[in-house]
Amino acid sequence: MTAIDANAATDPDLTAANVAWDLEPLVGGSGVEGINRLLETAAESTERLERYRGRIAEIDASELAEAMHEMASLEDALGRVGSYVGLRFATDTSDPERGAAMQRFQEQATALATRIIFLELEWAEVPDGRATELLAADELDFCRYYLESARRYRSHLLTEPEEKILTEKHVTGSSAWSRLFDEQTSVITVELPDGPTSLEQGLSRLGSPDRNERRIAAEAVTVALEPGLRTRAYVFNTLMADKATDDRLRSYDSWIASRNLSNQASDASVQALVDSVVDRYDIPQRWYKLKAQLLGVDKIADYDRNASIAEAEDEFTWSQATEIVLDSYGSFSGELADVVRRFIDENWIDAPVRPGKRPGAFCSYTVPSAHPFLLLNWTSRRRDVLTLAHELGHGLHAYLARDQGIFHQTTPLTLAETASVFGETVTFGRLLTETTDPAARLALLAESLEGQIATVFRQVAMNRFENAVHTHRRSIGELSTDDFADAWEDTQRAMLGDAVELTPGYRNWWSYIPHFIGSPGYVYAYAYGQLLALAVYARYESEGDSFVPAYLELLRAGGSRSPEDLGRIVGVDLADPRFWDGGLAIIDAQLSAAEQAARDAGRL
C-alpha cells in the first residue's frame, strides 16, 4: 500500500467524512412520531403480558408460547427505539437534546419493565420437571434455550418489590453515572503541536514512527486526562460500590461472579483462562525486548508500545480500506462479502472522527427485524482497516443470526468476539499475502502480533486491575486517584516486566477506559474470544474451503445453544482445560515468525 501525501488530509475519502449511518429506518423513517408509535406498541404488549400474572406455573406450552411472542414484540419495539436514541447519542454525546432523548427513553422503558418483572420470577419458580415438560414442546423452539438459560439466575433473584426498586433506581443510578463518564471522556481535548484534537486522535499518534512525536502525544494525553481525573475516579468508586451492593443482595460471592454467570462460564474456567495467560506474560515481554532492538533503543517506554516499526506510516483512504476488507471476506465466502457490501453501501456505518463522538469502535446488533450498525473513529491508519474488518465480523454475526429471533440472536460475551477476530485475521492474512517486501512484512507481522498482545495479555492485565480495585473497594473502601494509579501500574508492570519503562503520566491512563465503567468484568471476554477465534481460524487453515459451511452455521446459530455446543459446530472443545494453551501457542509461533522476519529484513 502506498503512503498518501500529508497534503491530502482534507480529502473526505481519507477521513471518511461522508460515511454516516442512516438511523431513521429503525423508527419507520418518522423520527419522534415513529418513536411514539413504537412506545405505544410496547405499552400494549406490556398490558397483554400483565394478564399472565400469577399463571405462569399453570399455563400450557401454547399459552407460554403466546406470552413469549408478546414478549418478542415488546423487545422489538423497545430495541428499535433504544438503538435509535442510543446510537444518535453516541455520535454526539455533547448534544443536550440527544442526551435528554436517551434518558427519557430509559425512564419509559424502565417503567414498562417493572410491570412485567413477575414473568422472570414466576418462571424461575416453576419446578424443574414441569419446566422440562413445557420446553419439550415444538411451539417453544424460538425461545427454548433462552428460557432454559434464564433459570440459571434462580438463586440470585429477589422478591418482585425488591426487583422493581432495583430496576427503577438503575436509571438514576449506574446508568446515569455511566452516561456522565461517557460525556466527560467524549469531550477530552488533547493539545498537540499542530493543534487540539480528540482523545481518539491523540492516542492514534502513539503509532507514529517518530519517537519524539509519540512522546509528545503521550504527554499531551496525560495532561488532557488530568482535569476530570478526580471526577472519573469518583464515578468509578460509586459504580463499584453500587455493584457491591447488588452482588450482596443477589448472593454473588465475588465481584466477577455475575459476569461469569451472564457469560455462561464457570468461575473456575475463567480463572483457568486468566492463570494461563498470566503464566505466558513472557510472550509480551519477549516481544517488547525485540521491539526495542527494532526501534534502536535500550528499552521502550509505554508510549512506544504501539509504535510502527515501519520507516513511514501508510495511510489508507476509506475506499482502499473497504476494497481490502471486501476482498478479504470474499476470499473466504462470497455470501459474507455480499453482506459486507450492504454495510458499506446502505449507510450502516458511521466512521469519521467528530467532536463529542464516543471514542473507540463498536457494533450495535439492534434487533433482528432491522440490521446492525457499526461505529468507528476513522484515523486512516492500517490499524483502522483491521478495526473495520473486526467490527464487520460482529456485524456479520448479528446479521446472519437474525433468523434466530430476538431471544437467540445474541451470543454470550465469551463467544461474541469469535466472528470479529476471525474476520480481522482473514483480512490480516490477505494483507500479508500481498506484502512481499521483507521490511513491510515485518511491520505487518509486528502490527498483528501487537494486536494479539493487546487483545489477550493487555485485557487480562486489565482484568487483574479490575480485580484489584473492586477488591480494594469492598475490603478497604473508596480508592483515591493514587490508589487507582498504583493498581494500574502494578498490574501493567506484571505484564510488561522489565521490558518496558512506565512513565509517571501513564499511571492515570486507566481513567478513560469505558469498559471498567459500563461493563465491569467484561474485558476477559476479549482474551477468551481471541484465543477461541485463533483456534477456529487454525481449523480453517487446516481444512480450507470445507470448513466454510460449519463456520457459517456457527454464525447463523447466534446464541441458540450453549457455548460448548456452539464450539462443537466448528470442532472446538471449550471444556478442555488445555484449550487456552493451544491459542497461546499460536501467538508464541507468531512471535517466532516475527523474529525470523526481523532477521530476514536485516534488522537483527
Higher model confidence: residue 512 or residue 315? Answer: 512
Q: C-alpha dihedral over 45, 51, 54, 57, to 10 degrees? A: -70
Domain containing 99 equals: 24-171
Nearest to 572 by CA among 533, 520, 521, 541: 533
Q: Where are the alpha helices (DSSP H) in 348-412?
A: 382-400
The three state secondary structure string of 252-274 is: CCCCCHHHHHHCCCCHHHHHHHH
Helix (H, G, I), strand (E, B) or coil at 412: coil
Residues making up the chain, counted from first to last? 604
Average pLDDT over residues 353-366: 93
Beta bridge partners of 49: none
Beta strand segments in 432-583, E: 500-501
Average pLDDT over residues 37-49: 97
Residue 286 maps to a domain: no
Residue 237 maps to a domain: no
Average pLDDT over residues 302-316: 84
Q: Is 3 a residue whose pLDDT tops 50?
A: no
Average pLDDT over residues 563-581: 86
Residue 42 maps to a domain: yes
- Pairing mode, if any, of strands 373-378 and 362-364? antiparallel
Distance CA 161, CA 121 (A): 11
Residue 239 maps to a domain: no
CATH number at residue 73: 1.20.140.70
Helix (H, G, I), strand (E, B) or coil at 405: coil
Nearest to 44 by CA among 83, 87, 20, 74: 74
Looking at residue 548, its pLDDT comes to 96
Looking at residue 9, its pLDDT comes to 54
Distance CA 99, CA 504 (A): 35
**How many C-beta atoms lie closer than 10 Å to residue 433's C-beta?**
10
Residue 600 maps to a domain: no
Q: Is 511 a residue whose pLDDT tops 60?
A: yes
Residue 241: what are its φ and ψ, rounded to 5°? -65, -40
Average pLDDT over residues 27-40: 96
* Cα–Cα distances in angstroms (integers) from residue 203 to residues 36, 70, 91, 147, 197, in the given order: 40, 46, 19, 43, 10
Residue 92 DSSP class: -
Residue 509 DSSP class: G
Residue 157 maps to a domain: yes
* Lookup: cell for 21: 449511518
| Phi-psi label, residue 380: left if phi above 0, alpha if psi -120 to 50, beta otherwise | left
Distance CA 101, CA 112 (A): 17
**Taking the mean position of all CA atoms in its chain, how far away is CA 405?**
21
> Which residues have a Cβ under 8 Å from the Cβ of 505 and sit 6 or more positions away?
218, 219, 221, 222, 223
- What does the mean pLDDT of the chain come to? 93
* pTM exceeds 0.85: no
Average pLDDT over residues 84-107: 95
Average pLDDT over residues 170-182: 92
Beta bridge partners of 196: 191
Distance CA 451, CA 383 (A): 9
* Lookup: cell for 62: 401454547
Average pLDDT over residues 275-290: 96
Q: Is 5 a residue whose pLDDT tops 50?
A: no
**DSSP codes joined into one string, 138-153:** GGGGGGHHHHHHHGGG
Residue 373 DSSP class: E
CB 324 within 8 A of CB 429: no
Q: Is 152 a residue whose pLDDT tops 70?
A: yes
CB 432 within 8 A of CB 444: yes
Residue 582 DSSP class: H
Number of domains into which the chain is organized: 1
Identify residue 588 by its one-letter amino acid code. Answer: D
Residue 365 maps to a domain: no
**How many C-beta atoms lie closer than 10 Å to residue 10's C-beta?**
8
Nearest to 291 by CA among 279, 280, 300: 300
Q: Is 7 a residue whose pLDDT tops 80?
A: no
Looking at residue 6, its pLDDT comes to 42
Q: Is 442 a residue whose pLDDT tops 70?
A: yes
Average pLDDT over residues 16-26: 96
- Torsion sign over Cα 417, 423, 428, 433: positive
Q: Is 86 a residue whose pLDDT tops 90?
A: yes
Identify residue 185 by its one-letter amino acid code. Answer: T
Looking at residue 311, its pLDDT comes to 67
CB 448 within 8 A of CB 428: yes
CB 96 within 8 A of CB 189: no
Looking at residue 580, its pLDDT comes to 86
Looking at residue 123, its pLDDT comes to 97
Residue 73 maps to a domain: yes
Residue 95: what are its φ and ψ, rounded to 5°? -85, 115
**DSSP codes joined into one string, 98-111:** HHHHHHHHHHHHHH
When pLDDT is cut at 50, 70 and 90, the band that residue 26 belongs to is very high
